[in-house]
Amino acid sequence: MDRKWGDPELFENGWRLHRRDGDGGDLRGAIVALSQASGQPALVAYVIDSDCAQVEAAAPNGATWSAMLNPEVAVESYEAPEPPDPEVVIEAASAWAGEAELSLDRAQLRSVLTAEFEFAEEAFAALLAGLGIHGLPEPEGSPGIDQGPSEASSSPVPKLDSRGVYAIARSVLGPVMKEAGFKHERGMLSWTRPQEGKHLTIWLQVSQYGFDPYRGSKFTVEFQLGAESAVGSGGDSVRFCRLAARR
């Protein structure tokens, strides 16, 4: 049976990976509560548009640490605070890894914390390996083109996964939005600019339900005009398909 979105993925050493949609919220509070309730070390990464990821970790003994993956992108594009010194993160992660009975690779962690990956998901996989959590299952759609079987033909048909869609959208729409006076908004792939005393925000999101061999997949483009720029903050909104239907 194919893995469904949200199903846990098992690592070789007993760790489980759960993928969820949603905003970041109180990551530190959530992961501390999970660790205390389960009696086990836990770690969470909030991935933003595959660009960067905020990482929080906690252990039952109180050990915690935080990190930002793809820190330059996070600071420049999402106005994130300057990340902590990598050596400070490594020391805190080492204490956490000891509680988790993991063999931490300091050199690899240092490299991950200072590098800029094309996709934040790749950075997270490298971070897990540096922490000693090995055997990450291949995600449902790795960056770019995945050669999936066709129902109508025995020949492979290219299938573009969500990160590939986001990468293309950023490269194509980014310059257009910048020229039109938009700036990158936090959260999902979105841009915003002042408009008639309000904020005009345009955002794109790929369906979370993956690729169906018969129906393919879909993505949403929505225009929002409201008092705030954040996606979903209210105001008037309309999706691109409805705008196109009015023409």
Domain ranges of the chain: 9-131, 160-246
Please state, as a whole number, how many other Cβ atoms lie within 10 Å of the Cβ of residue 171.
9
Output the six-digit token pair for 199. Answer: 């904020």
User: What are the φ/ψ torsions at residue 84 (nearest 5 degrees)?
Assistant: -65, 160
* Residue 181 · residue 193 · CB < 8 Å: yes
Q: What is the pLDDT of residue 77?
A: 74
* Residue 242 · residue 38 · CB < 8 Å: no
What are the tens digits of pLDDT across the range 170-182?
888 888 998 999 9
What are the tens digits of pLDDT across the range 23-61?
667 899 999 999 999 999 999 999 887 788 999 999 999
Q: What is the pLDDT of residue 159?
A: 63
**Model confidence band, residue 12 (pLDDT cutoffs 50, 70, 90):** low
Q: What is the pLDDT of residue 18?
A: 83
Q: What is the pLDDT of residue 30?
A: 92
Q: What is the mean pLDDT of the chain?
A: 79
